[in-house]
Chain A
Amino acid sequence: MQKLRYESPSIQKMNAGLMNKFGTRTEYEAVKQIDGVPVKTLIEQYGSPVFIISERTIRQTYQSALRAFKTRYPKVQFAWSYKTNYINAVCNIFHQEGSWGEVVSGFEYRKALGNGVPGDKIIFNGPEKTEAELILAIHNDSLIHIDHFEELYQLIDLAERLNKKPRVAIRVNMDTGIYPMWDRFGFNYENGQAWQAINKIVASGKLQLTGLHCHIGTFMLSTDAYAIAVKKLSDLAWNAKTQLNTLIKYLDMGGGLPSANNLRGAYMPAADMIPSIDEFAEAISNAILKIGFANNELPLLILESGRALIDDAGYLLGTVIANKRLSDGRKATIMDFGVNLLFTAFWYEHKMSPAQDFTHHTEDMVLYGPLCMNIDVVRSSINMPLLNRGDHVVVHKVGAYNMTQWMQFIQMRPNVVLIDEQGNTYLIREAETLEYIEQMEKMPAHLKTIQL
């Protein structure tokens, strides 16, 4: 007989219900492998903690999202939102699937170029673009999305100087009935600034007004908001066509589509709350098709969805460092990953699964990270099976934003590993080392020596 696993004692609330023959049950299932690769092997090979990315999930999610749109609207283009996850290997999976690049800084822009994305398939967004970056983008015939009038004037000026006619779009913000209203980016629709910007562009004759862009928020839970946004954007496009004789070639609806993560403080689980990509596709496509564009003048629909396409494909594997009991009697478990790696822990109640077998006993606990810092709380209250030191844990749906917003704070960033469709693993970003961190540091001569 196999030796029974030790579990530390747990405290359970008295449950005064009818007895049943199944005893207490837990909804948890041990997740021992990812895409057929055992978690144990991954940790042995790449250490703990480690980020795992599933190429199969990325491709499947991408294809099904694209299908949702393409079976409803004839001209659809996805652009990979670099800020969501700009590890080059990840970006290139999207580019292989046909995605363009959507960048919000010169750094991301050069990253996209470096990945081999042709300049004319890069959408350059964001409030800050330096003159040098704009010149580069103009030379590459990229789609420049203008955020403010200063940028607009600068572009007109540059176009004149370079004697080129850059392709531009304006970012439009609007009231779509959701709160908070994202009115800090782009030109407002309701107060007429968006229309004013369009007029200025057309009147200048120096820029090609190619598209219109909006991005109404993030983790949107309402499809109606998109339908309203499409309606308002299409109105602008229609007016541009009928009043300014300018054919708007694309409508960029931005991103903001949610993933299946549970938002902090949400009453219902995500699966019951968030609309599927199909529902968003339905709302957006129907709204454009209703406007009345002729079949051959239908604008290209661009989507910059990031989170919804990558979140499911990312996993974080970690290990239990210690258990302790807090002053109020609650159990606390300390993991080797914290908010330094799991930035999204501030927004989500991440789903966690033990990576090995466990008994049916569970207990409410706090999950802490390894940082010597009070903010480092991964889950403030989670009902989990009992874990011992050295046990492994899988955090689900961490593909978006964590590998870009992670902090090199107290700890260094770990390995990132890709599992391809055949189950082979590849190290796609090496764990940081002291040398790497200190590479950029410069030591003034008088501080070189210390004596203690």
Chain B
Amino acid sequence: MLFFSKNKVFALLILLVSFFTPFTGACGLFAVIVAIMAAHALGFGKEQLQNGLLTYSVVLFGLGFGTNFEFGIAFMALLVVGALLTFFISAALNAVLNKRGLPALSLAFIISTALLIVASKSFSGIGLTHRHIYWYNELYALGGNRLINLLTNIETWNIPDFVAGFFRSISAILFQVNIGSGIILAIGVLIYSRIAFLLMVFGYSIAIFFGYLMGGFNQIDMSYYNMGTNFMLVAVALGGFYIIPSVRSFLWIFVSVPIAFLMVSSVGSLMFKQGIPIFSLPFCITVILFLYMLQMRAKPGKLVLTPVQYYSPEINLYTYINGKERWMPMMYHQLSLPFMGEWMVSQGYDGNMTHKGDWGKALDFVVLDNEMKTYRYPGNLPEHFYCYNKPVLAPADGLVVEIIDFIEDNEIGGNNAQQNWGNSIVIKHAEGLYTKLSHLKKNSFKVAKGAFVKKGEIIAQVGNSGRSPEPHLHFQVQANPYVGSKTMSYPFAYFTTREKNDIVFHTYKIPNEGSFLSNITTNDQLHQAFNFQPGYLLKVKADNYAEEEWEVGTSVYNETYFYCKQTKAVAYFVQNGTVFYFTNFIGEKNNLLFYFYEAAYKVLLSSENKINVKDNFPLSVYAMNTVKWLQDLLSPFYIFLYMQFESEVKKDANTLHSGSLSFTSKRVLSLFGKEKKISTATVTIENGKLHAFTIQTSKKRIEAICTL
């Protein structure tokens, strides 16, 4: 959790560096063990402790305490008491702040250390140590002359103060002030995240520049914990960790780092008078302040708070770019088109006939024949119009809150401006989310006010009542339950449009005027095969691979996932009745679950038409190489590397949905727009069950068989 990371290599490096001052390191370790044991005894759950949110302040406390105080019985007693105090404060702060979506950062460590430092002044049993002045002694004990020589050598290297200060500042996070530790930690940061490294350099440079402008700071000051480190941490936290890294987030560092700078000077000098080091307090205040401020915005804007924390700026960014569409289901209710078959949008949003002003975000639908006419000859009666009398469906589950059902149909060309909306129904889907369907036929309602309707249920028939010169269906989404409320812009979750000879699949779009729309007809068999319920167990076998058992589970956040019992890999997925897609993969990559993740990354559960579904993999699931490193560095600004995915269910006229069915998919690597096919896959479904999948790359072929 230090440095925001969950990277194991980085963690090892941190451990290594902290033992450059073995005593200090041991204090950190001891403190955290005490805290964890106490937490277990108190009944804290494994889940609460596993991610280290509650304990990393304890580690910092241990390290800080070890650095500052002389060893002795009083020291040990205070260390134990202090560690527990830190843990308690941590628990309390996390509870208070997390509720508001804010991190507690290292506040607990700062508070408890400050308390102990002030208190220790009146305790004669414990005194400040000079050990850190003579830390070579410890180093000698650890690694002999060679290590000392190495580190002193580095100190004498002819590197500019600016760079040396940078490394010292990094090492100061672990209460050290030497370039060697700094370099190792910097490498660790680089392995953990290129963006974070870039941000550290940015934050440090901005602080130096700002200090230079103010004329009050010199570079030597930067090297202390309470100086340079704060700015680097602020830059990482706000530039790429709690906020999705982007050009905007980088630009805002130019504001947030100087704010932290201000804190360092002001709060620092106040606390200095009490003899309390400020540690990372400026960082904590700045970050919490900034994040709280951002949460108060009415519109999320383009500076996006990280929706799901993956503890790496890269993963956060790639998952975010990749998941913009995937977050749609979280932001929008899943609405479907309110009719059967193919209809055309005769008037779209802000149309030039009647969709004006506050009532502009509405859609009118009609049925057309091959000659683009809405009626058959002679067209002088509502009955001649293709859409007349057609069933109207509920766009989503909901409660019928209003029905108007007494208005006669107009003659063709007529217009009833008195009862503008004609016979209408308003359905409530959620708080502040209502849909209204209008110009319906009198006495055609199949439901009553107060009824609960299911998505796709027939609720009425199209008529020609109200302001309707010819039969059509009016649809709008509104925030209020009244007929006549103003409209709001809202997309349909999934639908297809017919363009020339192609059927195009749309997700969370608002249909355009003139487009021909149809709902997605799901294939029962595909739907059944991908309807993985918690507890579902799948055995997967392939040559050259160990047999795997995948169990379907649900997390506390209600995410469904496959858990591979052998490799412990986890693949998160969503199946919403129309589409199946994976949202994340965690764990080892060289196994069958990962290959299945690649093969069935996104599948439209319909075989009615030949529909190509495209998506991109988050780059973070792919292994490191030079190009990827470069991409990571540039990722907040420009993406040139894509791992594209395409899938297509074989068009099948088998409307009874029996027998077998298959879909193919491929992965294409795109580098600066140049595409290269990486692999193809085929997944077969038999009798409503996942049967097998095959993956073909240039090097190998994997044929996996799935059994229950």
Instruction: Evaluate whether A71 and B341 lie within 8 angstroms (CB atoms) in the complex, with A289-B458, A295-B456 already known.
Output: yes
Residue in A closest to B653 when the chains form the complex, CB atoms: A98
Residue A300 lies at the interface, judged by CB distance under 8 Å to chain B: yes
Q: Hey, which chain B residues are within 8 Å of A300, CB to CB?
A: 655-656
> In the complex the two chains form, is B386's CB within 8 Å of A71's CB?
yes
Of A46-54, A59-67, A348-356, the segment with at least 4 beta carbons within 8 Å of chain B is A59-67
Question: A389 at interface (Cβ–Cβ under 8 A)?
Answer: no
Whether A210 sits at the interface, judged by CB under 8 Å, is: yes
Query: With A and B bound together, what is the CA distance between A70 and B376 in angstroms?
Result: 17
Q: Which residue of A lies closest to B521 (CB)?
A: A74
Is A241 located at the chain interface by the 8 A CB criterion? no
Q: Say whether A72 contacts B654, CB under 8 Å.
A: no
Q: Which residue of B lies closest to A63 (CB)?
A: B370
Q: Is B369 an interface residue (CB 8 A)?
A: yes
Partner of A276, one of B376, B458, B653: B376
Query: For A285, what are the chain B residues with a Cβ–Cβ distance below 8 Å?
Result: 391
Q: Is A75 an interface residue (CB 8 A)?
A: yes
Chain A nearest CB: distance from B438 CB in Å?
A: 18
Q: A60-B370, A71-B390 are in contact. Are A100 and B653 (CB under 8 A)?
A: yes
- Contact: B386 with A67, CB < 8 Å? yes
Tell me the chain B residues, 336-386 only, with Cβ under 8 Å from chain A: 339-343, 367, 369-370, 376, 386
Is B457 interfacial (CB 8 A cutoff)?
yes
Query: Smallest Cβ distance from B660 to chain A, in angstroms?
Result: 10
B390 → chain A closest CB, angstroms? 5
A175 in the interface (beta carbon within 8 A)? no
Bound complex: CA A3 to CA B172 (Å):
113
Contact yes or no, A74 B658, CB < 8 A: no
Whether A75 pairs with B655 at a CB distance below 8 angstroms is: yes
- The smallest C-beta distance from A269 to any residue of chain B, in angstroms, reads 15
Interface of B is mostly: loop
B437-494 at interface with A (beta carbon < 8 Å): 454, 456-458
**Closest CB-CB distance, B609 to chain A, in whole Å?**
10
Chain A nearest Cβ from B365, distance in angstroms: 11
Interface string of A261-303 (1 = CB under 8 A from B): 0000000000000001010001001000100000110001000
In the complex, chain B residues whose CB is within 8 Å of the CB of A76: 655
On whether A249 and B656 interact (CB within 8 A), knowing A74-B340, A74-B521, A282-B389, the answer reads yes
Q: Across the interface, which residues of B come within 8 angstroms of A296, CB to CB?
A: 524
Q: What mask results when residues 103 to 135 of chain A are scored 1 for a CB within 8 Å of chain B, else 0? A: 000000000000000101100000000000000
B432 at the interface (CB under 8 A from A): no
Contact A71 B658 (CB under 8 A): no
B391-A121 in contact (CB<8A):
no
Task: List A residues 208-241 near B (Cβ within 8 Å).
Answer: 210
CB within 8 Å for A71 and B458 given contacts A64-B370, A98-B653, A210-B656: no
Residue in B342, B386, B458, B653 whose CB lies within 8 Å of A121 = B653
A31 CB → nearest B CB, Å? 19
A71 close to B343 (CB less than 8 A): yes
Q: Which residue of A lies closest to B651 (CB)?
A: A98
Decide yes or no whether B43 CB sits under 8 A from chain A: no
**A73 vs B340: C-alpha distance when bound (angstroms):** 7
Contacts of B387 in A (CB 8 A): 71
A315 interface hit (Cβ, 8 Å): no
Cβ of A337 under 8 Å from chain B? no
B659: CB under 8 A from chain A? yes
Question: Which listed residue, B454, B521, B654, touches A120 by the CB 8 Å rule?
Answer: B654
Minimum distance in angstroms from B520 CB to a CB of chain A: 11
> How many Å lie between the Cα of A100 and that of B367 in the bound state?
25
Chain A proximity of B521: nearest CB distance (Å): 7
Contact of A295 among B390, B457, B655, B656 (CB under 8 A): B457
CA distance A73 to B370 in the complex (A): 20
Point out the residues of chain A lying under 8 angstroms from B342, CB to CB.
67, 70-71
CB distance from B612 to the nearest CB of A (A): 19
A77 contacts the other chain (Cβ, under 8 Å)?
Answer: yes
> Which residue of chain A has its CB nearest to the CB of B659?
A120
Q: How far is the CB of A152 from chain B (nearest CB, A)?
A: 21
Known: A100-B653, A120-B658, A282-B389. A70 touches B340 (CB 8 A): yes
- B369's closest neighbor in chain A, by CB? A64
In B523-546, which residues have CB < 8 Å from any A CB? Answer: 524
- Cα of A296 to Cα of B528 in the assembled complex, Å: 12
The one of A64, A72, A276 in contact with B340, judged by C-beta atoms closer than 8 angstroms, is A72
Task: Determine whether A195 belongs to the interface, using a CB cutoff of 8 Å to chain B.
Answer: no
Q: Which residue of A lies closest to B456 (CB)?
A: A295
- Min CB distance B702 to A, Å, is 29
A295 and B654 contact, Cβ closer than 8 Å, known pairs A67-B369, A70-B340, A71-B340: no
Give chain A residues whose Cβ lies under 8 Å from the Cβ of B390: 71-72
Across-interface contacts of B659 in A (CB, < 8 A): 120, 141
Alpha-carbon separation in the docked complex, A98 to B343 (Å): 19
Residues on B with beta carbons closer than 8 Å to the beta carbon of A121: 653-654
Among the listed B341, B458, B656, which residue makes an inter-chain contact with A70, where contact means beta carbons less than 8 Å apart? B341
Q: Given A64-B369, A121-B654, A71–B339 Cβ distance below 8 Å? A: yes
Q: A250 on the interface (CB 8 Å rule)?
A: yes
- B521 CB contacts on chain A under 8 angstroms: 74-75
A167 to B687, CA, bound (A): 14
**Considering only CB atoms, which chain B residue lies closest to A73 in the complex?**
B340
A-B contact pairs, 25 of them (CB 8 A): A63-B370, A64-B370, A67-B341, A67-B367, A67-B386, A70-B342, A71-B367, A71-B386, A71-B387, A72-B341, A72-B390, A74-B456, A74-B521, A75-B521, A76-B655, A77-B653, A118-B654, A120-B654, A120-B656, A120-B659, A250-B656, A278-B376, A285-B391, A295-B457, A300-B656
Given contacts A71-B367, A72-B341, A120-B656, 4 further A-B contacts (CB under 8 A): A71-B387, A73-B340, A98-B653, A289-B391
7 smallest A-B Cβ distances: which pairs? Answer: A71-B341, A70-B341, A77-B655, A71-B390, A60-B370, A98-B653, A74-B340
